[in-house]
Structure 1
Amino acid sequence: MTCALYPCTVTHVRRTPVRHVFRHRTYLWLIDPDRPPRLPAPLRPLARFDPRDHFAGTAPTIRAGLEAFLAARGVDLAGGRVVMLTQARVLGHVFNPLTLYWCHGPEDVLRCVVAEVHNTYGERHCYLLITDPDGRARIRKELYVSPFYPVAGGYRMRLPEPGPRLNVRVTLDPPQGAPFTATVRGARREFTPMALVRQALSHPLSTFAVSFAIRLHGSYLYLRGLPVQPRPRHPAQEGAR
């Protein structure tokens, strides 16, 4: 698989009790975690794919962490292809609200999708999803993400494998109130060193910008009077390495 870049727009839509729309432009990588891109030495600070940033952060490779997570849930890819959508470390920093793994068997048929969610408190949780032919799945919420929503309700996700276009949608259905929706939409650009330079110049310090924007909009909502929900302790996941 040729790795690719996706310049994209991330949109969050909150409807109640305060209507608020948040849009942020960034770029994501689509890679084979077994064969991450090899960058010229001067560009390596702009993109690093580190196994410490995924799953429990203790596996020797990203693929090994994924395999351990799947094995604990009875899934064996038997060497099949994995496609990973993520942000890379930039200048030593990364914040990945959502990393997606499309996991195929040896016959190259999609077996499952893993959605790895990180919150701003340093916690991680992975969801194993069996999607329908349109890439849709439902799952119970298990990680505290926004301080304004409890760990309750469930997600509706639409996660078609990216092609010329990236179009991911995650909808939180809370126990009360209107759904909260996040979308990621973009267009594929084949990776070249110059393509990476253009994205880095268009979106400087992209991973810092993502975490700063989330905190900035959270502060705005807090000042608007949204009540903060208590954050429970998040236990380690079985099989996470």
Structure 2
Amino acid sequence: MVTGWARGASLYEATVRHTRLRPVAHRLRHRTFYWVLDLDDPPRPPWWLRPFAGFPARDHIGAPGQRESLDEFTAAGGVDTTDCSVTMLAHARAFGHVFNPLTVYWCRHPEDGLRCIVAEVHNTYGERHRYLLRPDERGRDEVAKTFYVSPFLPVAGEYRMALPEPGERLRLSVALDIDDEPILVATVAGHRRSAGTGALLAATARHPFSTFAVTANIRRHGIRLWLKGLPVLRRAPRTEREAHREHTR
């Protein structure tokens, strides 16, 4: 049983894989670790551990301690989550840096079970977008892609997401289909570890500067895709209203 500053939280050391199927084949793989925590009661490390794990509100649209934002978003989609517990999966801020390509929120009602999943996508331009999922018993749903992420992919197609709640094992999958053909598959697979001082220091030692590595890998593989001849698709500028909505709701 985890007590103290990390009670209710878990660490998952995981392998992330991206497989691009067309128009050119490309694969990437890296190791990292994630936090799974209670959105209403995030870990509060002692001061000397804060360089290794922090959860500031600015890192997410619906950040730890800001339930109103998440509840308003789900309500706009017709789902009431005010009485739900919310479990969040994300990277913590470490050594002053964090980048979460995907943050997941599982909204579970004490009587009804899992009511919805919110998938929060971040891009490298500092923009964020949420997708509301109404999953089946295996955590699966489909949603239209409406947010610019990669300069090598259009804002088009459908995401097929399989985001079952984490237990002893973590298994997430996001596939993008365009014109009814799969173009990209991303997976996260890992095992649960107890959260706490020793586990955090051990995970940091095994994956030093892991949050920097996420950003570096995105840049490195972007260069490789460009060298393979993939055209860069320009990002349409967002209106001030769209930017304000994404950063406040």
Tell me the TM-score normalized by structure 2. 0.90
Say whether 1:213 aligns with 2:189. Answer: no
Distance change (3 Å), C-alpha of 1:89 and 1:238? closer
**Contact 1:83–1:102 (8 Å) recurs in 2:** yes
Deviations 1:79-135 (A, max 9, x none): 321110001111221100000000012426110000000011111100000000111
- Counterpart amino acid of residue 27 in structure 1: F
Quote the residue 2:105 is aligned against: 101
Unaligned runs of 5+ in 2: 1-6
In 2: Cα distance, 1:62 partner to 1:227 partner: 39
Q: Counterparts of 2:78 and 2:100 in 1: how far apart (Å)? A: 26
| CA distance in 2 between partners of 1:21 and 1:206 (Å) | 19
Q: Are the aligned partners of 1:10 and 1:23 in contact in 2 as well (CA < 8 Å)? A: yes
Match of 1:49 in 2: 55
Give the deviation of 1:37 after TM superposition.
Answer: 1.3
Give the letter for the 2:166 counterpart.
P
Residue of structure 2 in register with 1:26 after alignment: 32
1:128 aligns with 2:132: yes
What is the CA distance between 1:227 and its match in structure 2?
0.8
Q: TM-score, normalized by length of structure 1?
A: 0.93
Q: Tell me, yes or no, if the aligned pair for 1:68 and 1:239 is still in contact at 8 Å.
A: no
Question: Counterparts of 1:239 and 1:221 in 2: how far apart (Å)?
Answer: 30
Shift of 1:142: 0.8
* Paired letter, 2:204: A
Shift of 1:179: 2.3
Q: Percent identity?
A: 54
Distance 1:227 1:71 in 2: 39
The reply on whether 1:13 has 2:19 as its aligned counterpart is yes
Displacement of 1:65 after TM fit? Answer: 2.2
Q: Contact 1:78–1:106 (CA<8 Å) still a contact in 2?
A: no
Q: Secondary structure at the match of 1:222?
A: helix
Residues 14 and 21 of structure 1 are in contact (CA less than 8 Å); yes or no, is this contact kept in structure 2?
Answer: yes
The match for 2:151 is 147
CA distance in 1, matches of 2:123, 2:103: 12
The amino acid of 1:62's aligned partner reads Q
Rounded Cα–Cα distance in structure 2 between residues aligned with 1:176 and 1:72: 29
Supply the RMSD in Å over aligned alpha carbons. 1.9
Q: Distance in 2 between matches of 1:239 and 1:71?
A: 17
Equivalent residue, structure 2, for 1:138: 142
CA, structure 1 residues 15+146, in 2 after alignment: closer, same or farther (shift >3 Å)? same
Pair 178,74 (structure 1): closer, same or farther in 2 beyond 3 Å: closer
Q: 1:71 to 1:240 in 2, by over 3 A?
A: farther
**Is the deviation greater in 158-167 or in 43-52?**
43-52
Kept in 2: contact 1:54–1:65 (CA 8 A) = no
Matches within 5 A, 1:88-237: 88-107=92-111, 109-175=113-179, 178-234=182-238, 235-236=242-243, 237=245
In structure 2, the CA distance between the partners of 1:204 and 1:19, relative to structure 1 (3 Å rule), is same
Equivalent of 1:87 in 76, 79, 91: 91
1:191 Cα deviation after fit: 0.3
